[in-house]
Every structure is written in C-alpha cells, then in structure tokens.
Amino acid sequence: MEKRTVYLKTFGCQMNEADSEQILGILGQSGYRSVDRPEDATLIILNTCAIRAKAEQKIFSDLGRLKVFKMKDPSVKIGVAGCLAQSMGERVLSRQPAVDFVLGTMGLDELPDLIEKSGRGEKGVSLAMSGNSEEVRPDAVRSSLVQAYVPIIYGCGNFCTYCVVPFVRGPETSRPVQYILKEIRGLAGQGYKEITLLGQNVLSFGKNSKENVMFRDLLHLTHDIDGVERIRFVTSHPRDMSLEIIETMARLPKVCEALHLPVQSGSDRILHAMNRGYRRRDYLEKLELLRENIPDIAITTDIIVGFPGETDNDFEETLSLISEAGFDHLFGFCFSPRPGTPAETLPDPVDPETARVRLEAVFNLQREISLKKNEAITGRVVEVLVEGPGRKDPAIFTGRTRTNKIVHFPGRSEMIGKLVHVKVEQGLPNCLIGRVDHQDKHKR
C-alpha cells in the first residue's frame, strides 16, 4: 500500500478536539498514520472553527501556506472539516482552490468517501445534518493520556444572537446513555482518571431524548464507574444551573469543585439583546448558591465586549460584575459579527478600537483578581493530577488541581497520570508553583 500519512490541525473548542480524535480513528482504519509536520503528510486536514472572524482569517492564511506542499507533490490532498466547513460549504473551494474536500461537523463517517473521490480528482462537499456515529470508535486517537473528553450532547438550541454554533452544529441532540457509559468505562479501564463531559450546553442533556435520564442522573451514573476519580463538565448555561444540579455536584465527591459558567455581559440590556435568558442579578444569585453549597468552588467565565449598542455604562456594569463575581479566570472576546446570526445586522456597532480598549480593561481587572485568589492558596496542599513535564524545563512537571488550576512543580515521569499532593509555594495570575508534599504521600 502507498504511504498514508495525515497532518491534522485542530482549531477552536474541546468539541472540535473530540471530533479530531474521532477523525484520526476513522483515518487509522484506512491505514493512515498521524504526523506532526505537514511536509511529511500525504493528507492535510484542518478541523476548523467559525466562532469569530479571526479564526476564519487564520484558517485561510494557513491554507495559503499549506497549498505549497500540494504544489510540490500534487498527490497531496487537502481537506477542510469542522464548523467553518459546515458554514461556508462549497465557498471554501472557491476561496481556496487547492482544497480537495469539505467535510461538515455532522457526517464524519463520510470522510473515507471524500478522500477516495479526491483520489479520482473529484472535489467533494459533505454537509450532512446528521449521521455521526453515536458510538465511540474504539480506535479514537486521544490527545491526552491522563484526562479525556466525552461528548454527551451535540448542537445547541439556545440561539444567543451573536452565536453561529446552532447553525453549524445543528439542534441539541443527546447521545444515548449506553454509549456514553460504555465509553467512560472503557476510558477508566485504560487508566484515565479524569473525565470531562462535553457539550455546548451539558445541562440540557436528556431534555430532548426519550430516555428520561437527565444531566444530574448522568453525573450519578458516571460517579458509579470504578476508576474515574474526577468528573468535570463543560459548558453550562447559567439559565439552566438549578439548585438540584448544584446539590448533586456538592453530594458527589468525584465531581470537581470547578465550573465554567459563561456570563458574557454584566448589563441587563445587553444580556437581553444577546438572548441569554437571565439577568445580572440571577447570575450573581446562582454564584452565591454555588458557593454556599460547594465551598472553594472555582468559577470561570466568558465575556464578550463591544456587542452592538454596548455603551460605556453597559461596559462599566460588566467590569463591576467581574469584581462582584470574583472569577478565578476568564476568557474574553471582542464581539465578532457572524454570518447569518441575528446580531450580525444589529445597529450601533462599537468601533473596534473601543472594543479593544474595553477587552484590555477586562483582562487587567481579572489579572488582579486571579492573582489575589491564587496568592490566597499559598501554603495549602492541593491534589494534583499530573499531566507530564513542561515544555520549558523537563524537570518541572505540570498538572491540575480539582479546581482546574495549572500547577508547576518538580516531578518525575512515574508521577504521570497519578494524583499527588502538592504544597503551593506561590500563586501567579495564571498558575500555581509548588512542591510535592512528601508528608502527605500516604493520603492517597
């Protein structure tokens, strides 16, 4: 058989990462081996993101560079998969003629067909609105040996006015419970200790299925699986974060004290225009409830600045919410109008420079808050799941606390994949520095 090698580059969120693992599984079946450099590949695939215009620009500039490999060797094939592929369809081919095939988000099983067609010189576009196998491929190629993402719900039905996701990933569809549990049992059997349940809004799990297993039930079922030591989930819509779920999180010791709860804005006017379905006060009340029930829970969020019509006053409300909420970390973005979304055509755009200055103010404020929070952990002993040596210094290892904070500490390779106790010696805005606490080593 001719040499078959694939260079796969993934953009965007964890859902895309999870899809890429599946794609590598499918390609493995056809004899493809994954390589780290595009120059070594006979097949190049970009698994793309469409959430902001920046992601789109980056993808087309990458394609411009990658086509050189095809010019050198015309048998090299280039495919574009994922959310941008789904939203642009055939237009990807006209914008970059070096692309051989376009594969959307919901028909990954079409991939071998598309490759075969391209071998015959035919350009294929597959934009199925369903059809991904719900059962995990046993040969999915996982990017981490320590923690694994498990999709539980696909698509999104919330239609926040700025967001392209409902258009490129379809309506909410819960994955059958038996497949989810089978996948998690398999992972636990392979030694994975940490499982992250994945979806655009995991709290909707079960609401759109006949199985009558809701998200809180799924937490219980996951908790019962031997070998799983830590459970996380992303993303949660604040509107759906109920007392019932908070109490379930508090009750189940394997569920980590960490929650990503995107607020987007602190202004009720903007939240309404975004169609988020909650007010500032509702959000802050949920944080209070979370902290009452789960002491020490770390909360992270997403913020969009420069949404159309956002005034200085609205923005001040976002800053004051950030202060009041006391997030552990946040991801901030300038609003980016996306094709086909309601917010694309809203009046009163915020000029890009104002948005940039606002975003910087958000980051500066959060940096101070994160630093204070992390400094307060100094001297404490935290449980860390060890991921491996860092990039800069191979003697300094990296892992994560239950609160999902990154910790750097002197480590050894036999610690990889294990839970160790680390005494925190320094808190920085984005990580903790510490040392393994040997007095504590018999605890676990």
Taking the CA atoms of 414, 417, 421 and 423 in sequence, report the sign of the dihedral they define.
positive
Which option in ligand SF4, ligand 5AD, none does residue 156 bind, with CB closer than 5 to 8 A by kind? Answer: ligand SF4
Interface stretch with ligand 5AD, choices 265-273, 316-324, 329-337, 388-396 (CB under 6 A)? 329-337
Least distance to ligand 5AD, CB of residue 17, Å: 14
Q: Which of 8, 23, 51, 424 binds ligand 5AD (CB under 6 A)?
A: 51
Q: Is the Cβ of residue 307 or residue 397 nearer to ligand 5AD in the bound state?
A: 307
Partner whose binding site includes residue 302, from ligand 5AD, ligand SF4, none (CB under 5 to 8 Å by kind): ligand 5AD
Q: What's the CA gap between 235 and 301, in Å, rounded?
A: 10
CB 172, min distance to ligand SF4, A: 9
Q: Give the CA distances from residue 386 to residues 325, 350, 379, in Å, rounded to whole numbers and listed in that order.
A: 29, 43, 19
69 contacts ligand 5AD (rule: CB under 6 A): no
Residue from 8, 43, 49, 52 touching ligand 5AD (CB under 6 A): that is 52
**Cβ atoms of 119 and 154 closer than 8 Å:** no
Among ligand 5AD, ligand SF4, none, what does residue 47 contact (CB within 5–8 Å per kind)?
Answer: none
Query: Contacting ligand 5AD (CB under 6 A), which of 38, 155, 199, 262?
Result: 262
Closest CB to ligand 5AD among residues 126, 336: 336
Which residue's C-beta sits nearest to ligand 5AD?
Answer: 302
Nearer residue to ligand 5AD within complex by CB, 187 or 234: 234
Instruction: Give min distance, CB of 53 to ligand 5AD, in A.
Output: 8
Residues that bind ligand SF4 (CB under 6 A): 156, 158-160, 163, 165-166, 200-201, 237
Task: For the CB of residue 167, give the shortest distance to ligand 5AD in the complex, in Å.
Answer: 11
- Touching ligand 5AD, residues 330-359 (CB under 6 A): 333, 335-336, 338
Count of CB atoms within 10 A of residue 202's CB?
Answer: 23
Vertex 120 angle, CA 114 and 123, to 5°: 50
Q: Which of residues 142-161 bind ligand 5AD (CB under 6 A)?
A: none
Question: What whole-number distance in Å separates Cα of residue 10 and Cα of residue 403?
Answer: 26
Q: Per-residue x/- marks for ligand 5AD, 1-20, CB under 6 A?
A: --------------------
Distance CA 15, CA 147 (A): 15
Closest approach of ligand SF4 to the CB of residue 443, in Å: 39
241 near ligand 5AD (CB under 6 A): no
Tokens representing 268 are 């009720």
Does residue 304 touch ligand 5AD according to CB under 6 A?
Answer: yes
Instruction: List the one residue out of 261, 333, 334 whose CA is nearest residue 291.
Output: 261
Q: Can you tell me which of 109, 302, 375, 440 binds ligand 5AD, judged by CB under 6 A? A: 302
Q: Identify what 237 binds: ligand 5AD, ligand SF4, none; CB under 5 to 8 Å per kind.
A: ligand SF4
Q: Which residues bind ligand 5AD (CB under 6 A)?
A: 51-52, 162-163, 262, 264, 302, 304, 333, 335-336, 338
